[in-house]
Amino acid sequence: MDKFSIQNITSLSSELEYEKATSLFLQLRVLVKTDKSYVPIRNHLRDLIKNFEKIHWTNEDTIANNQIKESDLAEAIIESENEFYQTRKELIKKNLKQAGLNQNDLAKILGHRKGYMSELINGLRPFSKEDLVIINRLFKIKIEYLIPAFINQERATLIKKTLESLSNKKIKLSNRDLMFK
């Protein structure tokens, strides 16, 4: 769910989407101060979040334990993703500084405009594989610190079911392997 695909969404359908929207809403709070083009996106997110909360979290009598577990899991996933993106951002900025470069210089090297580079660095948009390979080669940052190693929740569920159905029980993944980096 990047900031541009969110405008096409009319409702949030899961706790994970809700947590992603909430996280993006908070990230945009800072960016709105310097770029007013984020205001409509942030307002749209606010409306989606309020609507989701109204439908799923208003009546305490209808909140089930599995809903709370799903919410906790989604929150942990988003927290882990945010930690990854923050660490990557700090690594890139540290290496830029050591090389005597700034974010605008990196934007030029990668062939991006300044605002787009800011979105990439802040995790609002995904870097392309080629961008990450270039950053890896320029600054010798280990690729595992640049490429997020998260597995989509639906895909993780499918992998887990498939592994359980196989007769070969030597290959196992923990729940943490399936959820986080």
Q: Supply the pTM of this predicted model.
A: 0.79
The Cα 16–Cα 52 span in angstroms is 12
CA nearest to 50, candidates 76, 16, 23, 12 = 12
Provide long-range contacts, Cβ within 8 A and 24+ apart, for 46-49: 48/6, 48/9, 48/11, 48/12, 48/21, 49/12, 49/18, 49/21, 49/22, 49/25
Query: 30, 86 in Cβ contact below 8 A?
Result: no
The Cα 70–Cα 112 span in angstroms is 38
**Class assignment of domain 86-146?**
mainly alpha
The per-residue pLDDT for 104 is 95
In tens, the pLDDT along 143-153 reads 999 998 878 77
In tens, the pLDDT along 108-164 reads 999 999 888 988 998 888 899 999 999 999 999 999 999 988 787 778 778 888 888
DSSP code for 4? T
The per-residue pLDDT for 181 is 43
Q: How far apart, in Å, are the Cα atoms of 66 and each of 17, 121, 136? A: 16, 35, 41
More confident residue, 68 or 94: 94
The per-residue pLDDT for 9 is 80
